[in-house]
Chains A and B, each alone.
Chain A
Amino acid sequence: MDLELIITSFPKLLGATVITLKLLSASLFFGLILGLFFAILRLNKNKLVRGFAYGYSYVFRGTPLLVQIFIIYFGLGQIEYLRTTFLWVILKEPYWCAIIAFSLNTGAYTSEILRSAFETIKPGIVEAGRSLGLNKMFIFSKIQIPIAIKQSLPAYGNEIILMLKGTSLASTVTLLDITGVAKFIISTTFRPIEVFIVAGSIYLFITFLVHNLIKYLEKKYRYQ
């Protein structure tokens, strides 16, 4: 054990935490929008719309995140036509490729979490709203969505933690997140154990914060 290396690598890895948190928050933001959108599609009466939403969730939950990020970063980069379009401005940057891959992935899981939450809402609650003369849109946004969010908090907290660890794959497309910087330090010191222990501890600490935040929210939004 090289204690000095642990101490000197800590501030460098802490600096990289900013990139990790940026990737995480951007992916969760876009993923939540995607997830809500596709969860609503899953509840649609039209078979085709439902099938499309199911297909999306099936593909992105059924393939490894690493494969998805490689297809988006290295795969799309090989299509010459794409490089002449405005899309290349975004796809050229590893940062945006990572966010696209992460958002699509977490969006798929989030849509499943929200769908099952919507399905647990008892029909009686919606009927009660209707009998009060509330319109469909109002019932959905003010009754169904809040209940669904409460229902899905524990599962969604889990998804945040999974996504946090997923961001480490950003290092495979040249980004210097926590794992990327850890690999960089190892490439000059050749000491993986010390550096990965520090990197692992930082992930653990973020997980600790996320876990407690979700616990707090669960308590706050518990049914009175």
Chain B
Amino acid sequence: MKLKKIILSVFASLFLFSSTLSADTIRIATEGAYPPWNSKSEDGKLIGFEVELANWLCIYMERDCKIVEQDWDGMIPALRMRKYDAIMAGMSITDERKKVITFSQGYADEVASLAVMKGSDLEGMDTPEGINLSLGGKDVKAALKTITGALAGKTVCTQTGTIHQNFLESGDVGSVDVRTYKTQDEVNLDLSAGRCDAALAAAVAFTDYAEKSGKDVVLVGPTFSGGHFGNGVGVGLRQEAQFGSDSALGQRDAQLLKDFNKAIDQARKAGKISELATKWFGFDASM
């Protein structure tokens, strides 16, 4: 009898502890594995630029929020299944993603860069400091040609389902051997192990790794923006049409988009985004 009681109470407590969120709590998903955008502290708490910004946006919206963790490769499908209401995970605003979800206005700018280990023959690529693929023009074409030549026959590693993967597979830099990983951590590990000739990700992801691990990871070539790299990072939200624009769920999703846009305006005006960006990136990446 005693055993039965114990088992019952264990099950009862399991149910009690499983989320008792009120209906108007906004659940915001982040990856927790893409420092300094979002990551986890040593004791397992979610930290980073977007975790703090999310909390501030909720203060401006005067709403309760809960930040939840989600693997990158399931990020968009789980949003569409209403497992949470918003994504803040260094997700760039791209046309491809806009086909299935919607975005708030951008809150921060992300530039991408190639990285190699010190001593690689890819070092010293003769390209401009940064290229914007949306602008096009002679300089961009010349830079892409230089990169295409340098990367021919090389293995380039990147995270699955990112703008970086899309760019590498777009043919803009010829046909490189692309290897994709579930997380940026794994990309970093294999870059330093020498399995990758180069890697492509947000420039800050590499500088952060180099600083924390002490590994000789260096950025090469130009920084990339525009085109496949999208137009800044924004909050990913459900399209109001997904659950029907007239339905209660659809209207709630539409309202959430308005609320986030307003809160981002407020945070920007108050200088909060610049402040947090400078704190986490070392420079003002706000937009």
Q: Which of A77, A174, A186 contacts B73 (CB 8 A)?
A: A186
Q: Is the CB of B193 within 8 A of A83?
A: yes
Residue numbers in B under 8 Å from A46 (CB-CB): none
A: contact size bracket: 10 to 19
- Cβ of A116 < 8 Å from any Cβ of B? no
Closest to A78 in B: B193
Bound Cα distance A121, B181 (Å): 48
Residue numbers in A under 8 Å from B157 (CB-CB): 174
A–B Cβ pairs within 8 angstroms, 13 of them? A74-B189, A94-B179, A174-B180, A186-B73, A188-B96, A188-B161, A190-B77, A190-B97, A190-B100, A190-B101, A191-B77, A192-B74, A192-B77
Q: Which residues of B contact A (CB under 8 A)?
A: 73-74, 76-77, 80, 96-97, 100-101, 157, 160-161, 165-166, 179-182, 186, 189-190, 192-195
Q: Which residues of chain A from 97 to 132 have any CB-CB distance to chain B below 8 Å in the complex?
A: none
Q: Is the CB of A174 within 8 A of B181?
A: yes
Bound Cα distance A171, B30 (Å): 23
Q: Which residues of chain A from 185 to 213 have any CB-CB distance to chain B below 8 Å in the complex?
A: 186-188, 190-192
Residue numbers in B under 8 Å from A172 (CB-CB): 182
Given A77-B194, A92-B194; 9 other pairs, CB 8 A cutoff: A78-B193, A83-B193, A174-B180, A174-B190, A186-B73, A187-B165, A187-B180, A190-B80, A190-B97
Q: Is the CB of B179 within 8 A of A174?
A: yes
A74, A174, A188, A192: most-surrounded residue (chain B CB, <10 A): A174
Closest to B161 in A: A187
Closest to A171 in B: B182
Tally of contacts, chain A with chain B, CB under 8 A: 48
The 7 closest A-B pairs by CB, nearest first: A187-B161, A77-B193, A190-B76, A174-B179, A190-B100, A192-B77, A187-B160
- Nearest CB on B from A12, distance (A): 14
Residue numbers in A under 8 Å from B182 (CB-CB): 172
- Nearest CB on B from A200, distance (A): 16
